[in-house]
Amino acid sequence: MEISGASAIVTGGAGGLGEQTVRRLAASGAKVVIADVAKEKAEALVKELGDAVEFVQTDVTSESSVLHALERAASLGPLRVSVAVHGGFGAGGRTLKSNGTPHSLEDFRNVLDPYLVGTFNVLRLASAEMAKNEPLADGERGVIINTASIAGYEGTIGQIAYTAAKAGVIGMTLVAARDLSVVGIRVVTIAPGTFITPAYGPDPEQVEAYWSPAIPFPKRMGQPAEYAKLVQSIVDNSYLNGEVIRIDGALRFGPKSPN
Ligand SMILES: NC(=O)c1ccc[n+]([C@@H]2O[C@H](COP(=O)([O-])OP(=O)(O)OC[C@H]3O[C@@H](n4cnc5c(N)ncnc54)[C@H](O)[C@@H]3O)[C@@H](O)[C@H]2O)c1
């Protein structure tokens, strides 16, 4: 799909994977709204990229907040791309702690809220905005890209809430693609393995040394630009729909990853 002159929204656009996605979509000629809670980093990106991007402070868990960001995007051009790549809060913890205490229900909900409910919030509201577009020659109106994780398939010990959220995102993909087929909107989910981003903390070298031996090939963590490249491929290739694409160097998490 050609997106030059169109608009795009990237939730978590100030984050590690999000920033590279913003750069890539802007380089393709789209006007990009960075929809993120984090102000400072987003504003630095706007300063650097200029008119191609706009920051709208957004909380994905809020209907009014996401609607506002989508309205801004649509004012810049028809919304053709929505990428949900925002973060959340931790992984939750073990189902049952060694002292016999069960997983906190509140913590479980707090993990699901941004990762699953927030992703659905963006999906449903972005689809309503995209449905207003004139269809392109092949009937396509837009594409919605979600971000799961390989933990959505094989979560490790202590990740039950995060895995439930990401498995939910994986599960929504085909249904959303079917639901939105009548309006010509595609839905594709990316399931990343391990990518070097601020989410892994302040010492990328240490993180890389920890993970790399477990990754079959390439024997390194992913670069956020490689995630963004996949976003671009999904946008470009209109026959990709209703699918979850792993991008992980053939990494499979064990019970106590990286082992
Ligand atoms: N980095 C990886 O290896 C990896 C692997 C698998 C999946 N993922 C997924 O990719 C996504 C992005 O990960 P990342 O590594 O870029 O994280 P990151 O921490 O670098 O960036 C996340 C961004 O989301 C923003 N954010 C957090 N809560 C928000 C909210 N409620 N509304 C709007 N924005 C919000 C943060 O401010 C931040 O800018 C996450 O969903 C994560 O689970 C990442």
Backbone dihedral region for residue 64 (phi beyond 0: left; psi -120 to 50: alpha; all else: beta):
alpha
Q: Could you give the C-alpha distances from 80 to 29, 56, 141, in angstroms and in order?
A: 12, 18, 6
The residue whose CA has the least distance to atom 17 of ligand 1 is 199
- Residue to mutate, 61, 82, 83, 85, ligand 1, most ligand atoms under 8 Å from C-beta: 85
Q: How confident is the model at residue 259 (pLDDT cuts 50, 70, 90)?
A: low
* pLDDT in the model for residue 212: 95
Give pLDDT tens digits for 149-172: 999 999 999 999 999 999 999 999
- Pocket flag, ligand 1, residue 172 (CB < 6 Å): no
Q: Which residues contact 206 (CB under 8 A, 6 or more apart)?
A: none
Q: Could you give the C-alpha distances from 212 to 51, 206, 222, 242, in angstroms and in order?
A: 38, 10, 10, 31
Poorest-pLDDT segment among 13-17, 48-52, 57-61, 90-94: 90-94
The length of the chain is: 259
Strand 185-192 with 142-147, pairing: parallel
Mean pLDDT of 24-48: 97
Give pLDDT tens digits for 104-134: 999 999 999 999 999 999 999 999 999 999 9
**Pair of tokens at residue 220:** 């390194």
Q: What are phi and psi of 189, to 5 degrees?
A: -115, 140
Mean pLDDT of 43-57: 97
Mean pLDDT of the chain: 96
* pLDDT in the model for residue 90: 83
* pLDDT in the model for residue 14: 98
Is 162 a known active-site residue?
Answer: yes
> Ligand 1 centre and the CA of 190: distance in Å?
13
> Given 162, 210, 227, 239, which residue is catalytic?
162
- Pocket flag, ligand 1, residue 13 (CB < 6 Å): no
Mean pLDDT of 196-219: 93
Domains of the chain, first to last: 7-245 (3.40.50.720)
Q: What are phi and psi of 134, to 5 degrees?
A: -70, 135
Contact of 24 with 85, CB cutoff 8 Å = no
- Pocket flag, ligand 1, residue 197 (CB < 6 Å): yes
Give pLDDT tens digits for 16-32: 999 999 999 999 999 99
The percent of residues above 70 in pLDDT, for the chain, comes to 100
Strand runs (DSSP E) across 164-237, as ranges? 185-192
> Ligand 1 centre and the CA of 138: distance in Å?
33
Q: What are phi and psi of 140, to 5 degrees?
A: -75, 135
Residue 160: strand, helix, or coil? helix
> Ligand 1 centre and the CA of 12: distance in Å?
6
* pLDDT in the model for residue 184: 98
- Whether the per-residue pLDDT at 13 is higher than 60: the answer is yes
Indicate which atom in ligand 1 lies nearest the CA of residue 221: 3
